Amino acid sequence: MSEEEKEAMKEGGAAPASAADELTKQAVADLDRARLSKDSEASTACELVRSALEKYGSMSEEVAWRACWTIGFLSSFSSSASMWRTELGRAGVCTLIVEIIKSSYASNEAVSIWACYAIGSLALRHEDNKLLLKNAGAVPCITAISSNNALSAGARQEAIKALVAMSEIQATSGMAAEIGSSTSGASTKKSKSKHAVTNSQGTAFAAKHGGMPFFEVSALSGENVAEAFATLVSLANLPDTSNVKIMLVGEGQVGKTSLLEQYTNNSFSDSVPPTVGSDFKKVNDYMVGGESKSLQLWDCGGDPKFKPIRISFYRGVSGVMLVYDVNNRSSFEALEEEIELIKDTKPVMKFVLVGNKCDA
């Protein structure tokens, strides 16, 4: 291990709980309830989302992106998505989302991605919501995100998709043509029936373990990779630190190294040797929470013999990406034991669940 890695692995203490922390927890719990609501509970669910955005969105990045994630999910993947778009629009969330983007949180990767995703989902085939969003000033905000090179390609692409959904640009050339008119890029796609692990099973696992964010991704195409990393970085960002430290874990051959390579270098290779022990990558000048920080990423070998190494690393990171192969059920089931190991080692940890190879 290099001196840089040793220094980076020094464990930092988390800030003590505060009244704001407790309010954030309550808002997150309300948003989780809203996301799992039935169609008949739409009125109550929309009020929970509106309240979370209005009361806590401006002071908590986590509430801001989770609220936008919830809005996008309900208006894209619910069985009655069109009804949810209408109800959410009536609840006044269109204006609230634009206010969040206009705030300083617009420089936050996760907030930018999910706010653009929510706007695109609300606007899709819904003229009333398009008008509400335009009147609130959404177009110049998401246009600025689409050209902000300080944000990742994933964030800028989500902004382009929102502009397409708003009918501001046509999906005919450049990045817009590559993306198309779909607004589901930042969301969890529905699994193909041939996958050994279904989308609903991944969702159930995430809900069982504290409602962690869940993504189906492709290291090959890059689909949802930037969104998954940005979400984990936002969760793992600790105050009063200059570094954000996260780690990828999962069985061998699930694609952890490929995900890291896709995220840091926008590349993919068919011939990636198994990780021996661990690998380390660093991204300087990563914007999170309006601050420039050093992003430190560990890719830890999935072989059981590397378990002692993983335990030592868990003590020094604040976020873990749990990775499985959607076509390999045993890799999914193995995460149950791994997450318990992590919690025993470091009870306070942020997680994101990732099902890789969703396009296989």
Binning pLDDT at 50, 70 and 90, where does residue 199 land? confident
Please tell me the pTM assigned to this model. Answer: 0.60
Question: Under DSSP, is residue 34 helix (H, G, I), strand (E, B) or coil?
Answer: helix
The per-residue pLDDT for 191 is 43
Which of 214, 298, 231, 237 is closest to 264 using CA atoms? 298
Report how far residue 149's alpha carbon sits from residue 128's, in angstroms, rounded to the nearest whole number: 31
Average pLDDT over residues 203-229: 85
Percent of the chain beyond pLDDT 70?
77
97 backbone dihedrals φ, ψ, rounded to 5°: -65, -45
Average pLDDT, the chain: 78
Report how far residue 170's alpha carbon sits from residue 358's, in angstroms, rounded to the nearest whole number: 27
Residue type, 208: K
Residue environment code for 215-233, b if the CB has 16+ CB neighbours within 10 A, otherwise e? bbbbbbebbbbbbbbbbbb
Task: Please write the tens of the pLDDT for every residue from 121-151.
Answer: 899 889 999 999 999 999 998 888 888 877 7
Binning pLDDT at 50, 70 and 90, where does residue 176 land? very low
**Beta carbons of 112 and 86 less than 8 angstroms apart:** no
The per-residue pLDDT for 14 is 38
Helix (H) or strand (E) holding 352: strand 350-356
In this structure, of 93-97, 111-115, 178-182, the range with the lowest mean pLDDT score is: 178-182
Name residues whose C-beta falls within 8 Å of residue 165's C-beta, 6 or more positions apart in sequence.
Answer: 119, 120, 121, 123, 124, 181, 183
Task: Please write the tens of the pLDDT for every residue from 222-248.
Answer: 888 888 888 888 788 777 778 888 889
Check pLDDT > 60 for residue 15.
no
Cα radius of gyration (the chain): 19
Binning pLDDT at 50, 70 and 90, where does residue 29 land? confident
Beta bridge partners of 288: 291
For residues 267 and 343, which has the higher predicted lDDT (pLDDT)? Answer: 343
Percent of the chain beyond pLDDT 90?
21
Check pLDDT > 80 for residue 281.
no
What CATH class does 19-179 carry? mainly alpha
The per-residue pLDDT for 352 is 92
What CATH class does 199-356 carry? alpha beta
Name residues whose C-beta falls within 8 Å of residue 166's C-beta, 6 or more positions apart in sequence.
Answer: 119, 120, 123, 130, 133, 134, 138, 139, 142
Which of 132, 20, 123, 111 is closest to 68 using CA atoms? 111
The per-residue pLDDT for 288 is 66
**Beta carbons of 319 and 312 less than 8 angstroms apart:** no
Average pLDDT over residues 47-70: 87
Average pLDDT over residues 296-325: 80
Check pLDDT > 60 for residue 30.
yes
In this structure, of 76-80, 135-139, 198-202, 343-347, the range with the lowest mean pLDDT score is: 76-80
Name residues whose C-beta falls within 8 Å of residue 208's C-beta, 6 or more positions apart in sequence.
Answer: none
Binning pLDDT at 50, 70 and 90, where does residue 282 land? low
Which of 262, 256, 248 is closest to 220 using CA atoms? 262
Check pLDDT > 50 for residue 50.
yes
Residue type, 169: I
> Highest mean pLDDT range out of 39-48, 207-216, 255-264?
39-48
Average pLDDT over residues 286-310: 73
The per-residue pLDDT for 21 is 67
Kindly state the tokens that stand for 97: 């989302």
215 backbone dihedrals φ, ψ, rounded to 5°: -130, 145
**Beta carbons of 322 and 335 less than 8 angstroms apart:** yes
Angle at 207 between CA 202 and CA 213, to 5 degrees: 70
For the chain, the structural domain boundaries read 19-179, 199-356
> Highest mean pLDDT range out of 86-95, 219-228, 284-293?
86-95
The per-residue pLDDT for 242 is 80
The per-residue pLDDT for 35 is 82
For residues 332 and 102, which has the higher predicted lDDT (pLDDT)? Answer: 332
Kindly state the tokens that stand for 158: 């989500």
Q: How far is CA 236 from the centre of its chain?
A: 12
